[in-house]
Amino acid sequence: MKMNIRYFVLVFLFLAVNPIVNAQYGYNNGYNNPNNRGSVIPRSPEPERKPENLTAEEIVDREMPKITEAIELNEFEQAVVSSILTKYVQQSIELRILKLPADKAREAAEKIRDNQKEELQAGLPEDKFNKLVELQKQGYNKIKKQKKKQKKKKEKEKSEDLEK
């Protein structure tokens, strides 16, 4: 019986002391440990990613499919709009780089917008120009949602016609 009591006490002490020793020396298998002494792979800080500095051409190329879809431009009109937007986006980028005082920057941005609007008006038919202006005011996402709603309505009408 004495052997069983001694054995029980030794096992109990071992189980009680083991977590304390592991915590003291850091043997916790690397879980939630920033130093991670048990890891084989050395840790180094990850380099910070800088936001992409896109060129004017890249910015316009990203937006042109949305504009073309919303306004239904032909190839010639796409080329005209793309060249005008590229020109004025480049001017806007240059304006940001200059870091002018707020008043001068605002005035310059207004001049850029006005010149862009004038060139677009001269290069596009009136109805498409008005659509483009409306698109710029509302944003591209709203136009897409409206087109999706129109497509759903047409699909419902077709399904109703098929049922009859």
Q: What's 108-148 look like in SS3?
A: HHHHHHHHHHHHHHHHCCHHHHHHHHHHHHHCHHHHHHHHH
Q: Tell me how far CA of residue 10 lies from CA of 2, 4, 20, 24, 159, in angstroms.
A: 12, 10, 16, 21, 79
**Cα of 140 vs its chain's centroid, Å:** 15
Residue 29: the pLDDT is 54
d(CA 140, CA 81): 16
The chain-wide mean pLDDT, for the chain, equals: 78
d(CA 143, CA 147): 6
Report which of 121, 106, 112 is spatially closest to residue 86, judged by C-alpha positions: 112
Residue 86: the pLDDT is 92
- Burial code (b: 16+ CB inside 10 Å, e: under 16) for 38-54 equals eeeeeeeeeeeeeeeee
Q: With cut-offs at 50, 70 and 90, classify the pLDDT of residue 1.
A: low
161 or 40: which leads in pLDDT: 161
Domain ranges for the chain, please list them: 1-37, 56-142
- Burial code (b: 16+ CB inside 10 Å, e: under 16) for 61-83 equals eeebeebbebbebeeebeebbbe
pLDDT at 149 over 60: yes
Asked if 107 contacts 139 with a C-beta cutoff of 8 angstroms, the reply is no
91 or 32: which leads in pLDDT: 91
pLDDT at 112 over 80: yes
pLDDT tens string 49-70: 666 677 888 888 888 888 888 8
Asked if 59 contacts 48 with a C-beta cutoff of 8 angstroms, the reply is no
Residue 163: the pLDDT is 65
